[in-house]
Structures are given as C-alpha cells and as structure tokens.
Amino acid sequence: MSGPTSAPVVRGRFAPSPTGPLHFGSLVAALASFCDARHRGGEWLVRIEDVDTPRSRPDAERAILAALDRFGLRGDGAIVRQSERTALYEAALARLAAAGLVYRCACTRRELEAGALNAIGERVYPGTCRNGVAAARAHAPQAWRLRVTARATSFTDRVQGRQTQDLARDVGDFVVRRADGLFAYQLAVVVDDAAQGITSVVRGADLLTSTLRQTYLQRCLDLPTPEYLHVPVATDDGGHKLSKNTHAAPLASGDPVPALLAAWCFLGQQAPTATPTSAAQFLDHAIRAWSCARIPATATLPAPRV
C-alpha cells in the first residue's frame, strides 16, 4: 500500500468501534464505504476505533473482523488501532495548545448539565472555563476543549447535500481530550483520517453533525478535508438507531449473501438479476454496479428483517 504522500485518487475506510458485534447498520456502512472506494479503483482500510479503551472489547473486535471477512470485505494494508496511536493524538493536542486553541476545563457533570440545549437536544458548552479554571478546581481532573470561534461551518455531503451549523451557538467549545486522559473521538478521527491519507469518508448519517466539528478541527490543525458521504442509519421498530451500545442483534451467521443483499437494497442499489452464490460473486457485481446517486438522501430508514 502506498503512503499518504503518494495517495491514490481514492482511499476510503471503515472505522468500527469494538463495543459489540457487527449489526445490520454497521454492515451498511462497511459495504457502502467498500463499494464506493473499490468502484472508483481506490483503496479501502479498516481502522479499529478503540480510543475509548474502557468501552472497547477484544472479543467485539474479533467478532467484527471475522464478520467482515465472512462478508468478503477485506481491507488493504494492516489494520490500525487507535489505542496504539496515542503519540499522534498527543502531538495534535500540542499543536493546538501551541496555537492557543485549546484550554483546560474542570467543569463537573452538574455544571455541564446547566448548559442550554441546541435544536437536537444536545448540550451547548457555556464556556465556563474559557478564561481559566477556578482556583478551587485547580487540582480536579481536567479535560481539554477546543476554542470554537467559527459561526457558520458548512460542508457538502455527497448524498445529504449542504450541511451548515453555527458551532459557537449549537455546540460551543468541544472536548478534544477527556478529563480521564482519553482522547475524544473527534480529535482521534481527524488525526487518523489525515495520517492514513483518507480521501473519502463514508459512514452513517448519525455522524453528520460530528462532521462539522471535524472539518473545523481539520482547519485548526491545517489538515486536508476529505469528501464525505453519509448513508441512512438503520432504525429498529421503535425508530431508534441500531447500535452496538443498545445491543442491536448481530448478523446471522451462515450464508453471508442475504445480509449483503439486504444492505445493498437498503442503500437503494439495483439488485443483481440472479441471486449471487457467494459473497465474492455478490461483491463483483456490487463494485461494478455501485451508484451513490441511488442512495436515499435521508438520515434514517427502517432496517429490513434479515
């Protein structure tokens, strides 16, 4: 595999958090990112996002990798694990600190809960520690927050269209390193996508608003912004996102083709005329036939029964 300096035209990735087995929603994201990269002759990497070490489980990582293999979704190059990349995140935080873009925050959970809610019910950080931590908290555990000065931040998603957010009003200064010392997902993902030379991020639409934080962070760190494509998130009967945290059912073992076909149709893609007999045969069709113009431009869709 070539390094980031001689990056191919397209390099995509699938970046699961190992908190549970692969479920239908994560298969959709994996299949979409794989087909999108391969259809354009690009590379596809697998990155294990175990930055939140207390929530990550080795058995979940094993189950995810075994499932990807069973579905024929094999990445290029070695698998990267965020738990092994702390030095890169430290260096990025040091750059932000040197530029005066981050500050320490010793707010308690109760203080954070006093912040206003934005339109989608998320807490906005009220800026309590912006001008320094209160003396009484000097020895309390402290997070690091990124100083958000931007008002309207936008990007154009390849499927969902133009996305805009007033970061200062709707998010506030956000955490890049947690008070327990762990790096936040937002910082890790931005550092890793750049370090791995990712040109094309394809993932679930639940991360649409995170993308605005990530593009802001990319500008602060002087890193390139990849193109983004957010696919609909699969929801259960109650309209909730299928998620590893809420114990979404793992995919049935055995023949991988029915789940692949269900994920393919969920993505609005045209079914092959004859039912494929193997994952490899299905993927041959999928790589050729992939069309991102067919993906429904919606944030959620009910999951089919697989």
Interaction site with ligand GLU (CB under 6 A): 15-17, 49, 189, 203, 207
State the Cα–Cα distance between residues 17 and 168, nearest whole angstrom: 28
Nearer CB in complex with ligand GLU: 26/142: 26
Nearer CB in complex with ligand GLU: 84/255: 84
Please state the closest distance from residue 201 (CB atom) to ligand GLU, in A. Answer: 6
Helix 24-39 vs helix 279-289: angle between axes, to the nearest 10 degrees?
60
State the Cα–Cα distance between residues 205 and 16, nearest whole angstrom: 14
Nearer CB in complex with ligand GLU: 242/262: 242
State the Cα–Cα distance between residues 185 and 204, nearest whole angstrom: 15
**Given the DSSP bridges, would you call strands 102-105 and 143-146 parallel, antiparallel or unpaired?**
antiparallel
Please state the closest distance from residue 15 (CB atom) to ligand GLU, in A. Answer: 4
- Residue 218: which residues within 8 A CB-CB, separation 6 or more? 190, 194, 224, 225
Please state the closest distance from residue 82 (CB atom) to ligand GLU, in A. Answer: 9
Nearer CB in complex with ligand GLU: 77/258: 77
Please state the closest distance from residue 199 (CB atom) to ligand GLU, in A. Answer: 14
Q: In the numeric block, which tokens belong to residue 83? A: 């738990």
Nearer CB in complex with ligand GLU: 129/251: 251
Please state the closest distance from residue 259 (CB atom) to ligand GLU, in A. Answer: 18
CB 25 within 8 A of CB 246: no
Show the CA angle centred on residue 222, arms to residues 220 and 225, nearest 5°. Answer: 95
Helix 185-195 vs helix 86-98: angle between axes, to the nearest 10 degrees?
100
Nearer CB in complex with ligand GLU: 156/270: 156
Please state the closest distance from residue 38 (CB atom) to ligand GLU, in A. Answer: 17
